[in-house]
Amino acid sequence: MGKKRIGILTSGGDCAGLNACIRAATHHACQRGWEMVGIRYATAGLMRRPADAVTLTPDLLDSSFLRRAGTVLGSVNTGDPFAFPMPDGGRADRSAEVIEGYRSLGLDALIGIGGDGSLAILRRLAQQGGIDLVGVPKTIDNDVALTENAIGYATAVQVAIEALDRLQPTAASHDRVMVLEVMGRDAGHIALNAGISGGADVILIPEIDYRLEQVAQKVRDVRAGGRNFALLVVAESVRTPEGEAVTRSLSGQTRYGGIGQYLGDRLAELTGAETRVTVLGHVQRGAEAVPQDRLLASVYGAKAVDLIAEGRFDRMVAWQNRQVVDVPLAEIVDRSHRVDPAGPLVRTARQLGISFGD
Ligand code: F6P
């Protein structure tokens, strides 16, 4: 097989393990005698002239990149090139510029590391521009369809568990109810997994409707049972009992945030318990990658290069049944992997006496 020149980019919100994936893909590609080109700031880098890219070599990406959080390539989670926000407030289709930028780099194929939104945009660009694309799933939300694990999720869960471990002693010392709000966008995976592992009394996730009175009753029951503190984990996209999403506008974009404080205030009123709220936020994205993410990222990075070598494009690497596999990108677009309310983890949580407020 001839020498290839491969591009790689990270798109969407950053997370732990991105650098480990870039490292793995670069090591494997260079081992084959190929060239690896890192595209900086994803599609935004391809809109710049000259296109913003840097040659990657194994010696640049030493073992510290296995653990290092963030992305050495930079990322964007705004600025869809098909509806790019313009200074006059309107939107413009700049996809042709992105494709032209990609072509200017003389690449044979592209590895796109992204969540479902980014992968859908990259796929559309690939189809329009005849780009040979392989996708790699990453997101702390773990909501990409057809894969059990996305890069960054395990580390985010670890951070949330550590937060619960630290909230517990202070909750016990002050007889308090501690509410921990975690990220996850429209999926409750972080809240559910951290809640079970961190000993929560209540886990609220968007996939299971709750009633505030049920949550208050659980807090009363815990206290009546002789325990002076309670831990509640809530996913950021959980709605108020009235069905409203709690969001904020940040630089013109809508983001979840605030349901924890809302619930904390209401629970204090209903139970009389002293309540404190912690919003974990971007701390979940910036931690050093845990072993599971280092491994997953390494496997995915190497597998993505394999797919290019095999000429198998328009596919995403995935983790299923303890194996690395690949699935059609077409099948992950417009789908989402959310918590199964009848699944084994929810069942386990209930068996442990954890309340979902339902
Ligand atoms: O998708 C990852 C994520 O961290 C979500 O969990 C969260 O809702 C969102 O991104 C935050 O986005 P931003 O970094 O733009 O504030």
Does ligand 1 have an atom closer than 6 angstroms to the CB of 110?
no
| 130 and 276 fall within a common domain | no
The sheet that has 133-137: what strands, in order across it? 53-56, 35-39, 5-10, 109-114, 133-137, 315-320, 323-328
| 228 and 89 fall within a common domain | no
SS3 75: coil
> Considering the chain, what percentage of its residues have pLDDT values greater than 70?
100
Ligand 1: nearest atom to the Cα of 255: 8
pLDDT band at residue 242 under the 50/70/90 scheme: very high
How far away, in angstroms, is 141 Cα from ligand 1 center?
A: 9
Per-residue pLDDT tens digits for 247-273:
999 888 899 999 999 999 999 999 999
What does residue 301 show for φ and ψ, rounded to 5 degrees? -60, -45
358 assigned to some structural domain: no
Ligand 1: nearest atom to the Cα of 141: 6
CA–CA dist 295, 319 (Å, integer): 12
The pLDDT score that the predictor gives to residue 252 is 82
| 127 and 30 fall within a common domain | yes
The pLDDT score that the predictor gives to residue 269 is 98
335 assigned to some structural domain: no
| 129 and 196 fall within a common domain | no
Ligand 1: nearest atom to the Cα of 256: 8
Does ligand 1 have an atom closer than 6 angstroms to the CB of 206?
no
Tokens 């099948």, located at residue: 331
| 235 and 130 fall within a common domain | no
52 assigned to some structural domain: yes
Number of domains in the chain: 2
| Closest of 82, 78, 77, 74 to residue 39, by C-alpha | 74
| 174 and 280 fall within a common domain | yes
Say if residues 283 and 185 touch (Cβ distance below 8 Å): no
The pLDDT score that the predictor gives to residue 2 is 79
Ligand 1: nearest atom to the Cα of 253: 15
327 assigned to some structural domain: no
> Considering the chain, what percentage of its residues have pLDDT values greater than 90?
98
Query: Is 132 assigned a catalytic role?
Result: no
99 assigned to some structural domain: yes
| 221 and 272 fall within a common domain | yes
Catalytic residue among 14, 80, 141, 293, which?
A: 141
Per-residue pLDDT tens digits for 313-341:
999 999 999 999 999 999 999 999 999 99
As a whole number, the mean pLDDT across the chain is 97
pLDDT band at residue 1 under the 50/70/90 scheme: low
The pLDDT score that the predictor gives to residue 287 is 97
CA–CA dist 125, 251 (Å, integer): 26
Strand partners, 85: 91
Does ligand 1 have an atom closer than 6 angstroms to the CB of 158?
no
Residue 138 burial class via C-beta count within 10 angstroms: exposed 0-12, middle 13-18, buried 19 and up: buried
334 assigned to some structural domain: no
The pLDDT score that the predictor gives to residue 85 is 92
How far away, in angstroms, is 201 Cα from ligand 1 center?
A: 26
| 171 and 134 fall within a common domain | no
| pLDDT, mean of residues 219-238 | 97
The pLDDT score that the predictor gives to residue 280 is 98
Domain hosting residue 316, numbered range: 5-151+289-320
252 assigned to some structural domain: yes
| 45 and 170 fall within a common domain | no
Say if residues 10 and 42 touch (Cβ distance below 8 Å): yes
Query: For the domain that residue 106 is a member of, what is the CATH number?
Result: 3.40.50.450
| pLDDT, mean of residues 337-353 | 98
| 212 and 293 fall within a common domain | no
**Smallest CA separation from ligand 1 atom 13, residue:** 13
CA–CA dist 210, 232 (Å, integer): 13
Does ligand 1 have an atom closer than 6 angstroms to the CB of 141?
yes
Compute CA distances 159 → 113, 246, 286, whole Å. Answer: 22, 23, 9
Does ligand 1 have an atom closer than 6 angstroms to the CB of 183?
yes
| 144 and 16 fall within a common domain | yes
Query: For the domain that residue 180 is a member of, what is the CATH number?
Result: 3.40.50.460
* Contacts (Cβ under 8 Å, ≥6 apart) of 330: 123, 314
| 175 and 248 fall within a common domain | yes
357 assigned to some structural domain: no
| Closest of 235, 184, 181 to residue 210, by C-alpha | 235
Instruction: List residues forming the annotated binding site.
Output: 13, 115-118, 139-141, 176, 183-185, 236, 276, 282-285
For the cut 70, the answer to whether the pLDDT of residue 144 exceeds it is yes
The pLDDT score that the predictor gives to residue 251 is 83
